[in-house]
Amino acid sequence: MSTAHSSSREADNNEPPPRRCPDIDTRSDVKDDVRDLEQRTRLMRIVTRLIAVSDLGSREIARRAGLPMQKMSDLLSGRLEHFSYDELRSIRRIIDEGQLSTS
């Protein structure tokens, strides 16, 4: 009985260590993700405030940005995961241009 018990210990000791990928630095990936999320959050707040005070309506902004109204609704509802930083920057530029043309 003791031989069966000792052979199971040997099997446990022969397991390879967990695999790691040395060329991927997960901390920097997480930092990049957090930084992107913070940038998009700030920009989304700015864009939604600009839409609220804009002379252009949200429908007109959506039309000029080439966005379906559902996507504009997602923006106004704070659904950040639906937007990239570039999309938000593009919407902000359209609002800024709209403010200049109506002034």
Q: Is 80 inside a domain boundary? A: yes
User: What's the CA gap between 45 and 96, in Å, rounded?
Assistant: 15
**CATH number for 44:** 1.10.260
Q: What is the pLDDT of residue 99?
A: 73
Q: Is 2 inside a domain boundary? A: no
CB 75 within 8 A of CB 44: yes
Domain that holds residue 63: 27-102
Other Cβ atoms less than 10 A from the Cβ of 62: the count is 21
* Per-residue pLDDT at 17 exceeds 90: no
Q: Is 49 inside a domain boundary? A: yes
User: Per-residue pLDDT tens for 80-93?
Assistant: 999 999 999 999 99
- Read off the pLDDT band of 25 (50, 70, 90): low
Report, in angstroms and rounded to the nearest whole number, the Rg of the chain calculated over CA atoms.
26
Q: Is 32 inside a domain boundary? A: yes
Mean pLDDT of 52-78: 92
- 3-state class of 24 per DSSP? coil
Q: How many domains does the chain have?
A: 1
CB 58 within 8 A of CB 98: no
Percent of the chain whose pLDDT exceeds 70: 76
Q: What is the mean pLDDT of the chain?
A: 82
Q: Is 9 inside a domain boundary? A: no
Q: Is 41 inside a domain boundary? A: yes
Q: Is 48 inside a domain boundary? A: yes
The larger pLDDT score, comparing residue 32 to residue 7, is at 32
Q: Is 93 inside a domain boundary? A: yes
The larger pLDDT score, comparing residue 45 to residue 103, is at 45
